[in-house]
Amino acid sequence: MNSEKGFTLIEMIMSLVLLGIVGVFSSLFFVKGIEGYIFADLNASMAQQAQYAFTRLILEFENLTDITPPLTSNAIVYQMQPASNIPIVTRSIGFIGNELKLNVNGSNPSQGNTILNNLSSFTIACYKDFPNNILWATGEPIQDLLAIQITIVFNRSDLPPDVQTFTTIINPRRNKGYNAPVNWNI
């Protein structure tokens, strides 16, 4: 009589096959979790970069006093006054290659510092009546400029449609316009 205890070869092979199946399915869950983390991290990074750029552009455009022609959809030359006791300066912002550049010393944005890179597009639209989408054009009184719409589109390679879009609206306050504060020299 054989009293040896143990596993047969068939039992060991079956347990290895079952262990392999469980391992494959559990690894799929780990991969999805890691992909989700990478996706969320990329989204957070782009949102943070867009917020940084919007904060800087808000500081620039809230204090603008005039816009120099030509105003294009992806570049702007403007005069701004950071505070009432500081003289008016000329600055420029433009979409150069795949970068958004700000020149704080003149009218050529390509000579400026990079604010953002890896962009698909950058657009500026100036409105004298924003709810009705009536555009403001250079040559019109700067006081009529009510809102500036900025759209930033990042390149994305991880999923369709391959871009991520962020938009904001800025209301100038130092152009002595209809929406400016009563005492703008604050």
Q: What is the pLDDT along the chain (186 residues), one digit of tens a residue?
A: 566 777 788 888 999 999 999 988 888 888 888 888 888 888 898 899 999 999 999 988 988 888 988 888 999 999 988 777 889 899 999 999 999 999 998 889 999 999 999 899 999 999 988 778 899 988 888 888 888 999 999 988 776 668 889 999 998 887 766 655 454 444
Q: Each residue of 91-100: b (16+ CB within 10 Å) or e?
A: bbbbbbeebb
Calculate ∠ Cα 108-111-113, nearest 5°.
115
Q: Residue ranges of the domains in the chain?
A: 10-170
End-to-end CA distance of the chain: 103
Strands (E), 7-86: 64-72, 75-80
d(CA 66, CA 138): 9
- Name the β-bridge partners of 92: 77, 103
Structure tokens at 99: 């970068």
Q: What is the DSSP letter of 140?
A: B
d(CA 184, CA 82): 11
pLDDT of res. 133: 87
